[in-house]
């Protein structure tokens, strides 16, 4: 959609995350690819172990206010638990708490629980 005054709004946001492996694993970083390699649990379930367990927290903020755009602000706190039963899979459970402020569309603060299954091949 084209804006009538041909200006581009500028929005900003920020995110910070921390994670910790309860079972002592570490992620291998590949600098040339700029990514992390698949995690290998110290005690995978296919060898009688419990897999790798990770807890994580993330905070995010998004400001949707710019010049004539009055979209409000969104802040989110997400708490998560990740389970890596074997090197090629991960089960993720996240709980997110949102805080919406000054939004013309809603005055609600939604919360949700998410689960995901990831399989690498």
The domain segmentation of the chain, as residue ranges, is 12-119
46 phi, psi to nearest 5 deg: -75, -5
Tens digits of residue pLDDT in 99-120: 888 777 766 788 999 999 999 8
Answer whether residue 2 shows pLDDT above 70.
no
**Maximal CA-CA distance, the chain:** 64
Among 54, 49, 60, residue whose Cα is nearest residue 93: 54
The pLDDT, as a whole number, for residue 120 is 87
| Separation of alpha carbons 27 and 29, rounded Å | 6
Q: What is the DSSP letter of 41?
A: -
């Amino acid at each position: 959609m084209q804006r009538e005054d041909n200006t581009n709004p500028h929005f900003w946001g920020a995110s910070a995350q921390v994670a910790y492996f309860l079972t002592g694993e570490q992620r291998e970083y590949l600098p040339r690819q700029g990514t992390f390699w698949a995690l290998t649990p110290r005690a995978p379930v296919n060898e009688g172990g419990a897999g790798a367990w990770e807890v994580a927290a993330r905070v995010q903020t998004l400001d949707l206010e710019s010049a004539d755009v009055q979209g409000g602000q969104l802040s989110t706190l997400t708490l998560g638990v990740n389970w890596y039963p074997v090197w090629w899979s991960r089960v993720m459970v996240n709980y997110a708490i949102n805080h919406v402020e000054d939004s013309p569309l809603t005055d609600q603060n939604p919360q949700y629980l998410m689960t995901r299954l990831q399989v690498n091949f």
